[in-house]
């Protein structure tokens, strides 16, 4: 008993923060200090047991992302600062995890740059408890980011091997103590058709590009819900925010706006069955 107290009491608090493992639990009211790089790194190393060198890179990218107004609320900022992007890139790219551009993640697809993901996430205006659907799990980073905003995340990936690999990434992280990732529900399939058995959703984020908004996704969005989706010709999409409303007469209205002021942003194509439809 004395030994237990010794291990889990004062000595554990005094132990080198960087060695704290597993990470302490994420709580909705837990915010890291945002006043200085050093305070952020020390706090995160103590609470999450993450590597101070990597935390420094995450902080530096955070400052860059802020310059472009890609993170809007304190909750959006906290989500970015909590998500270990290095766990979602290929192992050989771990040191590159916080670069500002796309990285290859295998299977011919990429992880979206941090700023683009930050702004797409911010534009969803996710509130705690909301149900969010992601189309295009890919690396798994986007859904991980969402778990710091709500506890009900659903994500669909069409490439079976990638869906399986990323499921494994989440499972290993959950095993290491990132228990918030247990709130991510994964499935393999064609996200064009949404996830009917888990619908309706408050928010939908599509992370692959298509030339129109898939009608099944609009159907599965609640009235008042928001969808963020790259729309346009192959390799040259604009990122739209679509807000759905339903009038007293039952008629659906969709108001669209461009969250990057008209900038063209290339995305991996949304593949699947709709391409064969007449």
136 forms part of the interface with ligand SAH (CB under 6 A): yes
In angstroms, the CA 213 to CA 55 distance is 37
138 forms part of the interface with ligand SAH (CB under 6 A): yes
147 forms part of the interface with ligand SAH (CB under 6 A): no
Residue 104 main-chain phi, psi, to 5 deg: -65, 135
Which range in 54-62, 104-112, 230-238, 252-260 contacts ligand SAH by CB under 6 A? 104-112
204 forms part of the interface with ligand SAH (CB under 6 A): no
In angstroms, the CA 210 to CA 135 distance is 12
Cβ contact 12:4 at 8 Å: no
Q: Which two tokens stand for residue 112?
A: 């979206």
DSSP secondary structure string for all residues of 95-158: GGTT-SS-EE-STT-EEPPHHHHHHHHHHT---TT-EEEEE--TTSHHHHHHTTT-SEEEEEES
CB of 158 to ligand SAH, least distance (A): 4
Question: In this chain, which of 141, 148, 178, 201 binds ligand SAH, going by CB under 6 A?
Answer: 141
In the region spanning residues 207 to 226, those forming contacts with ligand SAH, defined by CB under 6 A, are 207-208
Q: Which two tokens stand for residue 87?
A: 């766990």
17 forms part of the interface with ligand SAH (CB under 6 A): no
CB of 230 to ligand SAH, least distance (A): 10
In angstroms, the CA 229 to CA 254 distance is 13
In the region spanning residues 23 to 82, those forming contacts with ligand SAH, defined by CB under 6 A, are none
228 forms part of the interface with ligand SAH (CB under 6 A): no
- How many helices (H) and strands (E) the chain has is answered by 9, 9
Question: In this chain, which of 109, 221, 231, 239 binds ligand SAH, going by CB under 6 A?
Answer: 109
**Residue number with CB closer to ligand SAH (54 or 156):** 156
| Max CA separation in the chain (angstroms) | 73
Select from 83, 76, 114, 87 the least CA-distant residue to 98: 114
CB of 19 to ligand SAH, least distance (A): 29
Which range in 33-41, 61-69, 78-86, 151-159 contacts ligand SAH by CB under 6 A? 151-159
What is the binding site for ligand SAH (CB under 6 A)?
109-112, 135-136, 138-139, 141-142, 156-159, 162, 190-192, 207-208, 268, 270-272
């Amino acid at each position: 008993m004395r030994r237990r107290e010794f291990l889990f009491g004062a000595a554990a608090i005094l132990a080198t923060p960087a060695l704290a493992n597993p990470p302490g639990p994420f709580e909705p009211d837990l915010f890291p200090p945002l006043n200085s790089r050093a305070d952020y790194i020390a706090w995160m190393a103590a609470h999450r047991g993450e590597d101070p060198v990597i935390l420094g890179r995450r902080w530096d990218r955070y400052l860059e992302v802020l310059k472009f107004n890609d993170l809007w609320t304190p909750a959006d900022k906290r989500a970015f600062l909590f998500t270990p992007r290095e766990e979602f890139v290929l192992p050989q790219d771990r040191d590159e995890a916080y670069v500002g551009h796309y990285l290859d993640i295998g299977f011919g697809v990429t992880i979206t740059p941090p700023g683009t993901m930050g702004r797409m996430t911010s534009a969803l205006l996710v509130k705690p408890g909301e149900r969010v659907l992601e189309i295009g799990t890919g690396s798994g980073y986007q859904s991980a980011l969402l778990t710091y905003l709500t506890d009900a995340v659903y994500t669909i990936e069409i490439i079976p091997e990638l869906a399986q690999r990323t499921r494994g990434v989440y499972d290993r992280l959950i095993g290491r103590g990132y228990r918030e990732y247990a709130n991510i529900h994964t499935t393999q399939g064609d996200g064009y058709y949404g996830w009917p058995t888990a619908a309706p959703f408050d928010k939908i984020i599509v992370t692959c590009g298509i030339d129109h908004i898939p009608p099944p996704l609009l159907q599965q969005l609640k009235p008042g819900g928001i969808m963020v989706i790259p729309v346009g010709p192959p390799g040259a999409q604009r990122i739209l925010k679509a807000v759905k409303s339903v009038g007293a007469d039952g008629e659906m209205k969709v108001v669209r706006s461009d969250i990057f002021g008209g900038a063209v942003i290339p995305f991996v194509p949304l593949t699947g069955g709709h391409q064969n439809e007449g």
